[in-house]
Structure 1
Amino acid sequence: MATNQFKPALIIVDLQEDFCPPNGSLAVTDGRKVIPTVNKLLDLPFVIKVATKDWHPQDHISFASNHANKKPFVDFTTVINPSNPAETYETRLWPDHCVQGTKGAELIPELDLTKIDEVVEKGQVKEVEMYSAFYDPLENPRVSDSGLAGFLREKGVTDVYCVGLAFDYCVKSTAIDAAKEGFKTYVVGEGTKAVDPAVWEEVKGELKVKGVEVVSLNGQEVARVGKA
């Protein structure tokens, strides 16, 4: 691909208070340590810079508190397509987090919002879990679509760089869907942390199979953005 056809986008996934120490209800270990990397990326000339937010109603299906005798992190529940009961998937249950309008749902203040072009809110449909910034896993029919893929195409984006929280959930799902939508996709390793750090290499391998590369902030893939 010629340099003049290279139009990269940055997607900063769910850098919200509830996912960050010290007070987040679903804090990812060392979650705030990604900030220097994210801020360095925000200084680069991406065509578009997007931040995503979990934006859940209080009765969201992913909250263990909404299921009798279920515990966060340990238990799972079945998500059923409201329009097609034959289509289902299992999802892990979590503590209440990123409830619409709460402090925990706010983007962390270290993130320079003046450099963000668009904020995408996701996970607003109470019956469906939505890790990806693009859409939920249900397809027949799709229940929730943020419109992000069309937005990136309108901007002529060719490549997508993902960072944020968490590597093994929302970052992974967002990156996989970006690749599925036809964008050359990267995850910048220093810009993300996992809920379960032990699965890092497993997730990296899963991403590779889906066409997503995990790259370094100091690697040639990021350096190319600076020359865009």
Structure 2
Amino acid sequence: MRLQQALLPPACSSRDTAPPSGGGGGKNRPSLSAYRPLLFDFSPSIIILVSSGGHLSRRSKPQESFRMAGEKQFRPALIIVDFQEDFCPPNGALPVTEGRSIASSINTLTTLPFALILATKDFHPPNHISFAANHPSATPYTSTTTVVHPRDPDRSYETTLWPTHCVQGTQGADLVPELDVSRVHAVIEKGQDARVEMYSAFYDPFRVSDSGLAAMLKEQEVTDVYVVGLAGDFCVKATAEHAVDEGYQTWIVEEGTKPVMPDKWDECRREMKDKGIKFTPMDGEAVARVKTCT
């Protein structure tokens, strides 16, 4: 097990005061000392701080908030799933059609006063079980393999095999340069255990690998989760499903994702809606509500 430390913005309260007018410029950003330490004990995923000039980016201005007794404060989080080179044309190993086109919408979302903004990365070892190249005679996209629980051989599931992608230390594993990471509080690397597939940013189906995301959202008192990124029908879907399982009101922003299998996207959307996931356009009420967040 590996102990990692992440420094995240403190939860807002009615005692917070607004910074000087002028917005989120560097001189108004709180220093690292203003952020509460958050400790996780997990493996094999890792949380990496994103900093700029020794400061974490923060756009929200804590303001006086007045709530009825017992009313829960709206604290939305944005999760940007696997917006990486290998998932984008023209050179990605596992390109999602028009995958790079979602950058503008995602960057617009990051300017909103989310309580927490996170990005995730597939970060596989070369021998990962999901790579077709690691299975004799397998064909990417169509072949499958059985994933067996590393400690319980009676538990297993089938998973699709893919082209080799997002290998640790390769350019394909990098977040796309179009993404403005200066507005991201932290990056979560996932899929590092070669034995299991981990589409979700939370954990794999067996919970052998836990990224610490659930604990982070709870510690930051998040109430709603907005999910964007790639691909809509796999890692975005799994992340949104687990967000619902963890008890969060969960939204997928339509302009912020694309599927790897467009012909099955309508069916996939119906499945997600049946599981309690909501879809919203950029100009929808769910996004407008974030704009009023304090």
TM-score relative to the length of structure 2? 0.75
Partner of 1:25: 93
Partner secondary structure for residue 192 of structure 1: strand
Partner of 2:259: 194
Partner secondary structure for residue 260 of structure 2: coil
Q: State yes or no: 1:168 paired with 2:233.
A: yes
Larger radius of gyration: 2
How many percent identity over aligned positions? 57
Partner secondary structure for residue 5 of structure 1: coil
Partner of 1:149: 214
Partner of 1:128: 196
Partner of 1:98: 166
Partner of 1:181: 246
Partner of 2:125: 57
Shift of 1:202: 1.0
Give the AA of the match of 2:216: F
Shift of 1:47: 0.3
Partner secondary structure for residue 182 of structure 1: coil
Partner of 1:5: 73
Give the AA of the match of 2:115: V
Q: Matched residues in 1 for 2:160 and 2:125: separation?
A: 17
Q: CA RMSD in A?
A: 1.2
Question: Which 4+ runs in 1 deviate beyond 4 A?
Answer: 1-4
Q: State yes or no: 1:70 paired with 2:135.
A: no
Q: Matched residues in 1 for 2:72 and 2:100: separation?
A: 35
Q: Matched residues in 2 for 1:207 and 1:46: separation?
A: 23
Q: Matched residues in 2 for 1:9 and 1:172: separation?
A: 16
Q: Matched residues in 1 for 2:72 and 2:255: separation?
A: 27
TM-score relative to the length of structure 1? 0.97
Shift of 1:4: 6.6
Show CA shifts across 1:180-204 (max 9, x none). Answer: 0001000001100001111222111
Partner of 2:9: none
- Relative to its length, the structure with more helix (as a share) is 1
Gaps of 5+ in 2: 1-66
Partner of 1:43: 111
Partner of 1:89: 157
Gaps of 5+ in 1: none
